[in-house]
Amino acid sequence: MIEAYLIHLLIIIGIYIILSTSLNLAIGYTGLLNLGHVAFFGIGAYVSTLLSINTDLPFLVVFILAGLFTSIFGYLLMLATNKLRGDYLALATLGFNFVIYSLFLNWTSLTRGPLGIPGIPKPSIFGFVFQSNLSYLIFVAVIAFLVVGFLHLLLKSSYGKLLEAVRDNELACKVLGKNTFKMKWQAMAVSAFFAGIAGSLYAHYITFIDPSSFSLYEIILILTIVLVGGLATLKGSIAATVIILLIPEVLRFFALPSSILGPARQIIYALLLILILMYRPRGLFGKVDLG
């Protein structure tokens, strides 16, 4: 019993590590305050779900397609918001999130709206079906490891340094002849790709998705993780994911009804977000300020 609960927690942590490190790529390293990350997460989840239910494509193909499809949205979002910075960009991307959310909710012929889509198949790779949660945990862990490894190498490379240069002074980069728009959309597309595959992992784990999993509240959770961990640090995001996801689990030991548990979790996250901004704006290991 306690084992199953631990495995569940670890799977969720794995998925959120992918989400938070990929968001940190956009916010922390590239300086794009993207509040639409949850929309990417949702697009990945819906695309993966719809493809695996309506087509015979093997899971790995569906998985990659979910990521690629989402990264197209990342490109389009950046294309639309290229001129915006700081709080403008935050608002526009928040808007993107609401638009995608209302599409999930209202495009009922495709998404079944608020009813959600049940019966999403467990993934299978080369004939092996990830039926047990333990096997799924290993799968998620491998993917999370690959994502973090990729991001680590990318951000250590000269390309990663260029992204940070775009964050620190976009104009100077332009003067030096760099195509900053290209760097920004590439960063956003990579970030979206990983959010998309995280969505796919989530959908095939829970085997049911509905729009409420991708609402404003989810943004607060991921944003809190990234800010608590600190900007421009993968280590911080990983540590913060574990801490932030474990904190509300303490509430479970008080045997509270779910009508209290839900809001209490959100209150904890929101308070944490406000307090970290006020008293420790660089989080655990952050290198730069939000702005």
**Residues of this chain that bind other proteins (CB under 8 A):** 33, 35, 80-81, 83-84, 86-88, 90-92, 94-96, 98-99, 102-103, 105-106, 113, 216-217, 219-220, 223, 227, 259-260, 262-264, 266-267, 269-271, 273-274, 277-278, 281, 289-291
As measured in angstroms, the least distance from the Cβ of 215 to other proteins is 9
Cβ proximity to other proteins, 53 vs 271, nearer residue: 271
Query: Contact, 286 vs 237, CB < 8 A?
Result: no
Side-chain-side CA neighbours of 120 within 13 Å: the count stands at 26
As measured in angstroms, the least distance from the Cβ of 36 to other proteins is 11
As measured in angstroms, the least distance from the Cβ of 291 to other proteins is 3
Cβ proximity to other proteins, 19 vs 290, nearer residue: 290
Measuring CA to CA, how many Å separate 14 from each of 34, 94, 238?
21, 25, 9
Cβ proximity to other proteins, 97 vs 200, nearer residue: 97
Cβ proximity to other proteins, 171 vs 278, nearer residue: 278
Amino acid at 155: L
> Under 8 Å CB-to-CB from 97, ≥6 apart: which residues?
35, 36, 38, 39, 216, 219
Name the residue among 150, 173, 152 with its Cα closest to residue 162: 173
Cβ proximity to other proteins, 149 vs 291, nearer residue: 291
As measured in angstroms, the least distance from the Cβ of 182 to other proteins is 19
Query: Contact, 180 vs 165, CB < 8 A?
Result: no
E-strand spans in 63-159? 124-125, 128-129
Cβ proximity to other proteins, 86 vs 149, nearer residue: 86
Cβ proximity to other proteins, 4 vs 271, nearer residue: 271
Give the integer Cα–Cα distance in Å for 164 and 77. Answer: 20
3-state secondary structure of 253: coil
Find tokens 């998925």 and name the residue. Answer: 15
As measured in angstroms, the least distance from the Cβ of 63 to other proteins is 28
Backbone conformation region of residue 25, classed left if phi is above 0, alpha if psi is from -120 to 50, else beta: alpha
Query: Contact, 234 vs 151, CB < 8 A?
Result: yes
Cβ proximity to other proteins, 50 vs 261, nearer residue: 261
Give the integer Cα–Cα distance in Å for 88 and 286. Answer: 23
Measuring CA to CA, how many Å separate 227 from each of 21, 28, 222, 286?
11, 9, 9, 8
As measured in angstroms, the least distance from the Cβ of 262 to other proteins is 8
